C-alpha cells in the first residue's frame, strides 16, 4: 500500500511571487519551498522514498505540484491532467513509449517482471498501443474524466522478449530495446508500426558476450547513432541469469553495426536522453531500487549529465543534475525548452536544465515513463504518463523535441 505523506506542521503557501490565480490551471497546487524548509523536531519526517510521497497539501491526485513558478509556463493556464486508461489487475503501461504521428497512436510495453506485469522467466511482457484520437473523443464526451480507452496488444515475433525501452519511430519502425528472457539474449530491434509488425534484430551481443538486460535507448539527433543502457534488472526480477558483464552505457552505429562502451561507473544505469544539439547526455542511475534484494535508500536515485565528445562519442565531465525525492528517476524525456522529465514513485518530475525541481505531475503512484504524443487541436502538447496500472494524459503548453534522429 502506498502512503501519501502529509507533513505535519507545514504551512503551504498558495501563492508564489509574481503568480496569480488567473494564470494557474485548476489542478495546480503551488508549494513554496520556504514553507517546508524547516519542519521542526516533532514533524513526521519521511523514512521511505518509495512508499511515503511528498504531498504537503494533502491534495487528491492527479494534480500539478508547482515548486518553481517556471513550471507554470510549462503547464500554461489551461493545463489539464486526466486518467485515460486503467486495469487494476495488469501493469500494462510501464515503459518504451513511442508516439507514431502518421497513425496518431502510442505504443508502449507492460511491466517486465513486476508483480502485476504478467511476465516472468516463462512468459514475456507485451507491447500494446492506444489510439490518441479515440482518447480525445472519449475526453470530449467526458471532459473531466476518468475515461478508459481500450488498448490493443501486438502479436510480435519470439525474438522480442521483455521489451523495456524504445524510441523513434526510426525509419518508419519502432526502435525497441529488450532485456532478454532466460537464455534468450537482450537485443536492439526494429518493429514495423503496421501489421504484421515485422521484426528486424540489429544487435544481440557485445563481441560474442551477452548483455545483462538492456534497459533504455535514444538516437543521437545529429549523427544518428544509438545510445543505450545495460543493467541487472532482468536478474533482480528473476527472468535473466546472473550478469557476466559490467553495467554500462553503449553506443551502436546502425550503419556499421559497431558497438562500444561510452560510460561506466554506475550502480544501475537506466534512463537516457540526449539534448537536441547532441552535446549533452543525461543518464539516470536507479541504484536505490534493488529488486528482490530490497531498496537501499543510500544508493543513487540520481540523474547525471555528461558532455558527449564530438569525435569519439565518449561521455565526459560527469556531474549531478538531480536527485529524486520519490523512488528513483527512471525514463528521461525532454521538452523543446530543454526541461528534463523523469518518471518517479509519485508520477513525473520536471527539472530545469540547471537542476532546479520545477514541479511534478503528481499522480500518487509509480510512473516509469512518459512521452509527448503530438499536439491537441489547441496547439497544446499532449504528455502521456505511464503509471503501471493506469495511463494519464496531460494537455500542457510545453512541446516535444524530435526523438527520431537525423
3-state secondary structure string across the chain: CCEEECCCCCCCCCCCCCCCHHHCCCCEEECCHHHCCCCCCCCCCCCCCCCEEECCCCCCCCEEEECCCHHHHHHCCCCEEEEEEECCCCCCECEEEEEEHHHCEEEEECCCCCCCCCCECCECCCEEEEEHHHHHHHHHHCCCCCCCCCCEECCCCCCCCCEEEEEEEECCEEEEEECCECCECCEEEEEECCCCCCEEEEECCECCECCCEEEEEEECCCCCCEEEEEECHHHHCCCCCCCCCCCCEEEECCCCCCEEEEECCCCCEEEEEECCCCCEEEEEECCCCCHHHCCCCCCCCEEEEEEECCCCCCEEEEEEEEECCCCCCCCEEEECCCCEEEEECCEEEEECCCCCEEEEEECCCCCCEEEEEEECCCCCEEEEEEEECEEEEEEECCCECCCCCC
The yes-or-no verdict on residue 349 having pLDDT over 70 is yes
User: How much of the chain, in percent, has pLDDT values that exceed 70?
Assistant: 93
Residue 19 makes CB contacts below 8 A (sequence gap 6+) with 30, 69, 72
For the four alpha carbons of 302, 303, 307 and 308, in that order, the dihedral sign comes to positive
Q: What is the pLDDT of residue 13?
A: 42
Q: Which pLDDT band holds residue 291 (cuts at 50, 70, 90)? A: confident
The yes-or-no verdict on residue 346 having pLDDT over 90 is yes
Closest of 209, 165, 195, 222 to residue 405, by C-alpha: 222
The yes-or-no verdict on residue 393 having pLDDT over 80 is yes
Q: Which pLDDT band holds residue 263 (cuts at 50, 70, 90)? A: very high
The yes-or-no verdict on residue 395 having pLDDT over 70 is yes
CB atoms within 10 A of CB 244: 9
Residue 45 makes CB contacts below 8 A (sequence gap 6+) with 39
Average pLDDT for residues 218-224, to the nearest whole number?
96
Average pLDDT for residues 266-285, to the nearest whole number?
97
Average pLDDT for residues 137-147, to the nearest whole number?
96
**What is the rounded CA–CA span in Å between residue 10 and residue 56?**
7
User: Do the Cβ atoms of 94 and 391 come closer than 8 Å?
Assistant: no
Superfamily the domain 81-396 falls into = TolB, C-terminal domain (2.120.10.30)
Q: What is the pLDDT of residue 340?
A: 98
CA angle, corner 28, sides to 22 and 34, nearest 5?
Answer: 100
The yes-or-no verdict on residue 157 having pLDDT over 90 is no
| 260, 266, 269, 274 alpha-carbon torsion, rounded to 10° | -60
User: Do the Cβ atoms of 162 and 112 come closer than 8 Å?
Assistant: yes
User: Do the Cβ atoms of 290 and 296 come closer than 8 Å?
Assistant: yes
The yes-or-no verdict on residue 286 having pLDDT over 60 is yes
The yes-or-no verdict on residue 2 having pLDDT over 80 is no
Q: What is the pLDDT of residue 38?
A: 96
Q: What is the pLDDT of residue 16?
A: 41
Structural domain spans, the chain:
81-396
Q: What is the pLDDT of residue 403?
A: 64
Average pLDDT for residues 330-341, to the nearest whole number?
97
The yes-or-no verdict on residue 5 having pLDDT over 70 is no
Average pLDDT for residues 237-263, to the nearest whole number?
97
Q: Which pLDDT band holds residue 293 (cuts at 50, 70, 90)? A: confident
| Mean pLDDT taken over the chain | 93
Average pLDDT for residues 210-237, to the nearest whole number?
97
User: How far separated are the first and last CA of the chain, in Å rounded?
Assistant: 45
Q: pTM of this prediction?
A: 0.94
Q: What is the pLDDT of residue 405?
A: 64
| 92, 192, 96, 255 alpha-carbon torsion, rounded to 10° | 160
Q: What is the pLDDT of residue 294?
A: 87
The yes-or-no verdict on residue 166 having pLDDT over 60 is yes
Comparing 209-218, 287-296, 332-341, which segment has the lowest mean pLDDT? 287-296
Q: What is the pLDDT of residue 404?
A: 65
Pairing of strands 28-30, 63-66: parallel
Q: Which pLDDT band holds residue 238 (cuts at 50, 70, 90)? A: very high
For 31-71, write each residue's pLDDT tens digit.
999 999 999 999 999 999 999 999 999 999 999 999 999 99
User: φ, ψ for residue 102 (rounded to 5)?
Assistant: -55, -35
Amino acid at each position: 500500500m502506498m502512503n501519501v505523506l502529509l507533513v505535519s506542521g507545514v504551512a503551504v503557501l498558495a501563492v508564489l511571487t509574481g503568480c496569480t490565480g488567473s494564470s494557474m490551471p485548476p489542478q495546480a497546487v503551488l508549494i513554496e519551498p520556504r514553507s517546508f524548509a524547516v519542519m521542526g523536531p516533532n514533524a513526521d519526517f519521511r523514512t521511505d522514498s518509495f512508499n511515503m510521497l511528498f504531498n504537503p497539501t494533502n491534495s487528491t491526485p492527479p494534480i500539478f505540484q508547482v515548486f518553481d513558478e517556471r513550471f507554470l509556463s510549462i503547464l500554461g493556464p489551461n493545463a489539464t491532467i486526466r486518467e485515460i486508461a486503467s486495469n487494476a489487475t495488469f501493469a500494462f503501461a510501464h515503459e518504451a513509449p513511442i508516439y507514431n504521428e502518421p497513425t496518431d497512436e502510442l505504443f508502449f510495453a507492460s511491466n517486465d517482471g513486476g508483480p502485476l506485469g504478467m511476465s516472468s522467466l516463462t512468459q514475456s511482457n507485451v507491447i500494446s498501443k492506444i489510439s490518441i484520437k479515440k482518447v480525445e473523443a472519449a475526453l470530449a464526451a467526458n471532459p473531466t474524466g476518468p475515461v478508459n480507452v481500450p488498448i490493443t496488444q501486438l502479436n510480435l515475433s519470439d525474438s522480442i522478449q521483455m521489451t523495456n525501452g524504445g524510441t523513434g519511430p526510426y525509419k518508419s519502425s519502432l526502435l525497441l530495446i529488450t532485456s532478454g528472457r532466460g537464455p534468450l539474449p537482450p537485443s536492439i530491434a526494429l518493429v514495423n508500426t503496421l501489421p504484421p509488425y515485422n521484426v528486424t534484430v540489429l544487435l544481440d551481443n557485445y563481441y560474442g558476450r551477452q548483455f545483462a538486460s538492456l534497459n533504455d535507448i535514444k538516437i543521437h539527433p545529429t549523427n544518428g547513432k544509438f545510445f543505450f543502457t545495460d543493467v541487472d534488472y532482468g536478474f533482480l526480477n528473476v527472468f535473466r541469469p546472473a550478469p557476466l558483464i559490467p553495467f554500462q552505457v553503449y553506443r551502436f552505429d546502425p550503419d556499421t553495426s559497431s558497438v562500444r562502451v561510452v560510460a561506466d561507473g554506475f550502480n544501475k544505469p537506466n534512463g537516457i536522453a540526449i539534448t537536441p544539439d547532441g552535446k549533452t547526455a543525461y543518464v539516470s542511475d536507479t541504484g536505490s531500487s534493488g529488486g528482490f534484494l530490497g531498496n537501499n535508500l543510500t544508493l543513487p536515485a540520481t540523474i547525471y549529465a555528461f558532455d558527449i565528445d564530438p569525435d569519439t562519442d565518449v561521455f565526459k565531465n560527469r556531474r549531478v543534475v538531480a536527485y529524486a525525492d520519490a523512488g528513483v528517476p527512471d525514463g528521461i524525456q525532454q521538452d523543446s525548452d530543454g526541461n528534463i522529465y523523469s518518471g518517479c514513485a509519485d508520477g513525473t518530475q520536471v527539472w530545469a536544465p540547471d537542476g532546479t525541481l520545477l514541479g511534478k505531475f503528481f499522480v500518487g503512484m509509480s510512473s516509469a515513463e512518459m512521452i509527448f504524443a503530438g499536439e491537441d487541436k489547441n496547439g497544446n502538447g499532449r504528455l502521456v504518463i505511464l503509471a503501471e496500472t493506469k495511463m494519464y494524459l496531460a494537455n500542457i503548453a510545453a512541446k516535444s523535441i524530435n526523438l527520431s534522429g537525423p
